[in-house]
Chains A and B, each alone.
Chain A
Amino acid sequence: MPFTPPKESYNGKIFELALGSGEKALAIGGENVLSFHGFEGSTPRKPVIAMEVQDIAPADWPQTVQDVYKDVSGDPVAWALHCQDKLGAEAIALRLTGTHPDKGDISAEQAAATVKKVLEAIKVPLIILGSNHAEKDTAVLVKAAEAAKGSNCVIGKAQEANYKTIAAAAMANDLKLIAMSELDINLSKQLNILITQMGFDREKLITDPMCSALSYGLEYTYSVMERIKLAALAQNDPVLQPPMLADAGMYVWKVKETQAPEAGLPEWGSLAERGIAWEAVTASSFLVSGADMLIMRHPAAVEAVKKFIAEMEV
């Protein structure tokens, strides 16, 4: 008797979310099975990797990843175009780091002007990110949202402390919204409820359950994501059916393993390779746990994860 592999099927389905416009527009989500389980159901969209660009030179990034962008990183437009045209980025994540009160305190208006310039220059979808300073983000993301009106891009992150203003701005300018909670599945659901209670369409949300790097709590994020996906699919919980984001790069390039020089720890091997591997392994783990979109930094890590996606998608 031939062996028939058992198949799981689910009642729920992840919302399909369209991003950007024009020929480079894309969509994420739409699956009714766990990641890479296309043999059990439908996975109409493959995961998307957005490459991270910042409004200011990334002085706090480790040298190995700073160097890759040294010719363009002073100019967000040039940097974004480099990622799009030279590195084949499918999407750009513009992080407005310089607006943070401790990192230059760039004004909301100036940040909005940067957003506008980048949007005008690139063809791929844009993800606009604040500096993760809850209070400053309120002002910055409202202006940024106005600058991005009609572009069908993504803005975030709305958090418990500031979601009302940011969700209202996303709604007014018809943008997709990232809702981020801090590594807690129940709070993640709660934030999505609160945002939808404002009248925000849950089919325009992206859930960010908060990220972490390999060996720095990755298993927590992994488990939260997996449980969100299972609640969305098996329990058919519409609040948890928005696609998920893993903002992986920024966590990876902070940890010791991506920075410690070879001289001090020869047994850890090449620093350059180590950092790339660390980002690739972290990011690909989150694809397995359920992320539909990644934000990453190092082009070689992006390549590795793209290869991983291609091999896993059958």
Chain B
Amino acid sequence: MLIIGEKLSIIAKRVREAMFKKDKGPIQEIAKAQWNAGARMIDANIGPAEDGGEELMQWMVRTIQEAVPSPICLDTTNAKAIEAGLQVHDNQWGRALINSTSNDPERFPILELAAKYNCQVIGLTVGKGGLPADAEERCGIAAEIMARAMEYGVPLEDLYLDPLVLQIATSQDHAMHVIKAIKMFQELNDPAMKTVVGLSNISNGCPKNVRPLMNRQYFALLMYHGLTSAIADAAELSEIAKTMDVIMGKTLYAHSYLEM
């Protein structure tokens, strides 16, 4: 299970202020905390970043990689900012992951970047027409993204399919659609397609005390159904991930398994 540390998002006030002031301290502190909690990739979410996105993404990639030996998940809708980030990304700890392409033609240039820079890319299973209704529709979109990826020269092993987790508070039936989609995505190729979710969206809008429980429980279910990776708070999930690995026989049990 690859946990992609999610805490470096422009949505968080502290992170946003640090980005504006180019203050490395808080960024590196959060990156280190995620790394120490078990994240093996760090998400750098700079939002739409219409002004100065290129420079900001480069600064983020460098700032994070100065602090932790980790590849970066470049999270923005600004393709130029992504390309700028890829240009400075240090691949010695693994290749970057772009977040994301989709079945919207406006997002196809992202695949060109993935091919050009030989990096990995998330395919969000939405199209131009709005949210997918169920697992089957997500699969249909996934198949189109896969065809597009091959057309652009991105190997399917480098594509992570994202079924789009929706809020339980507003779209309760999608919780199970997403689980089913995770199962179905894997069947779309041999070797199985990789999958990723933006986990904490499930509990977005829930009361604060419910959120960690909801995230952890949902994560365990998704892991059981073969999820490859999650953009999430590593501190919240690392114990669940280790426990699920033991329950599913992926690591050998020992009394101190949580400490490993």
Give A residues with C-beta under 8 Å from B: 185-187, 189-190, 193-194, 197, 227, 231, 235, 237, 239-240
- Interface assignment of B12: CB less than 8 Å from any CB of chain A: no
A235 touches B252 (CB 8 A): yes
B251 touches A186 (CB 8 A): no
A239 touches B250 (CB 8 A): no
Expressed in whole angstroms, the Cα–Cα distance for A190 and B259 within the complex equals: 11
Choose from A193, A227, A231 the contact partner of B259 (Cβ within 8 Å): A193
B129 to chain A, nearest CB (A): 42
B251 touches A235 (CB 8 A): yes
A235 touches B254 (CB 8 A): no
B residues near A186, Cβ cutoff 8 Å:
252-255
A197 touches B252 (CB 8 A): no
A185 touches B260 (CB 8 A): no
As a 0/1 sequence over residues 227 to 260 of chain B, the CB contacts with chain A under 8 angstroms (1 = contact) are 0000000000000000000000011111110011
A179 to chain B, nearest CB (A): 12
A residues near B256, Cβ cutoff 8 Å:
190, 193-194, 197
A237 touches B252 (CB 8 A): yes
Expressed in whole angstroms, the Cα–Cα distance for A235 and B260 within the complex equals: 14
Expressed in whole angstroms, the Cα–Cα distance for A187 and B253 within the complex equals: 9
Q: List 15 A-B contacts (CB under 8 A).
A: A186-B252, A186-B253, A187-B254, A189-B252, A190-B254, A190-B255, A190-B256, A197-B256, A227-B252, A231-B251, A231-B252, A237-B251, A237-B252, A239-B254, A239-B260
B259 touches A197 (CB 8 A): yes
As a 0/1 sequence over residues 200 to 241 of chain B, the CB contacts with chain A under 8 angstroms (1 = contact) are 000000000000000000000000000000000000000000
A35 to chain B, nearest CB (A): 19
Q: Which residue of B lies closest to A235 (CB)?
A: B251
In the complex, besides A187-B254, A189-B253, A239-B260, 14 extra interface pairs with C-beta distance below 8 angstroms are A185-B252, A186-B252, A186-B254, A186-B255, A189-B252, A189-B254, A193-B254, A193-B256, A193-B260, A231-B251, A235-B250, A235-B251, A235-B252, A239-B254
B residues near A227, Cβ cutoff 8 Å:
252
Expressed in whole angstroms, the Cα–Cα distance for A200 and B254 within the complex equals: 18
Q: Which residue of B lies closest to A234 (CB)?
A: B250
A residues near B260, Cβ cutoff 8 Å:
193, 239
Expressed in whole angstroms, the Cα–Cα distance for A187 and B256 within the complex equals: 10
Expressed in whole angstroms, the Cα–Cα distance for A88 and B255 within the complex equals: 42
B residues near A194, Cβ cutoff 8 Å:
256
A residues near B259, Cβ cutoff 8 Å:
193, 197
